[in-house]
Amino acid sequence: MDLWIAFTIFAALTQTLRFALQKALGSTGLSPGGATFARFLFAAPLATAAACALYVQSGVSLPVPGVAFFGYVVVGGIAQIIATELTVRLMGMRSFATGIAFTKTEVLQAAVASALILGEMVSFGAGLAIAVGFAGLVCLSFPRTTAFEGRPVAFGLAAGALFAVAAICYRGATLSLEPAPFLLRALLALATATVIQSVIMALWLSFREPGEMARVLHGWRRTAPVGITGLLGSLGWFAAFSLQNAAYVRALGQVEVIFTLLFSTLWFREKLGGREVAGLLLVSLSVIFLVLGTG
């Protein structure tokens, strides 16, 4: 199995767990902003320590990060913050499984953004696999009523677009650090991103939601696991981005939907209908086609 495939599957699994933990934080009284802040606060020092340790152990000389690196990280970091908070809000409007599925338009948007920003095109076979997976996501996210609900659809589309921007920017950041080893590039970009995100969220909460940071820190036993799982998931994504086209990585990341459905049924006791099962099968086929076509 190619390394980028293993990293992507690992990232999808840990990200699903992190979203489940973030949803559970709603019962603690934390706002969506507080739950988002927890995602970055506890990840930043761990990512920084891991990056420093790997840098010292590797003994390699790094290229000096330039304007492009910091530009990619800042834009990607802000996009991820907004997308994460939108997703937390979205999960409060719809079921856990459906809420996540709405954001998966990111897969198509990432393919377009990758071509426009980084000039990386997808092959015909990979494009077909992405299309099949998107059909599965439509089955999962289409509302049970005949009318679309405006806010969930808008939040999901916006979150998907911003996650796509973040993915492309993070790949750009890791590529700008070549020829350093891929894992070191991934950790350095991740550490820089989480530190910047923590500072931005701290300033935002201080201004808009006074006292929310204190609640996050006071409830560290429940908020720290969100940061730790977020760190592990992000490390998987960053490592995969450093090795492969971001559109392929996010397309394979659709396997997260399978994990999400398992969490939805086993953890939150949400029932699945025939349409969800059909969507699950299509997404599974998409993942298989993509792995066979690129692995």
**Encoding tokens for residue 33?**
């902003």
Q: What pLDDT was estimated at residue 165? A: 93
Q: 0.95 exceeded by the pTM?
A: no
Greatest mean pLDDT range, 84-98, 119-133, 279-293: 119-133
Checking if the pLDDT of 282 tops 90, the result is: no
Complete DSSP assignment for 68-101 = HHHHHHHHHHHHHHHHHHHHHHHHHHS-HHHHHH
Return the C-alpha torsion angle 37, 253, 240, 117, nearest 10. Answer: -80
Confidence tier at 147 by pLDDT (50, 70, 90): very low
Q: What pLDDT was estimated at residue 237? A: 94
Checking if the pLDDT of 86 tops 90, the result is: no
Neighbours of 226 (CB within 10 A): 28
Q: What pLDDT was estimated at residue 143? A: 54
How confident is the model over 176-233, as pLDDT tens digits? 999 889 999 999 999 999 999 999 999 999 998 888 888 888 878 877 888 888 889 9
Neighbours of 211 (CB within 10 A): 11
Q: What pLDDT was estimated at residue 142? A: 60
Checking if the pLDDT of 19 tops 50, the result is: yes
In contact, 251 and 126? CB cutoff 8 Å? yes
Checking if the pLDDT of 127 tops 50, the result is: yes
Give domain limits for the chain.
3-294
**Encoding tokens for residue 85?**
């908070």
Q: Which own/partner contact pairs does 211-217 have at CB distance under 8 Å and 24+ positions apart? A: 212/30, 212/31, 212/33, 212/34, 212/37, 213/34, 213/37, 215/28, 215/29, 215/30, 215/34, 216/30, 216/34, 216/37, 216/38, 216/41
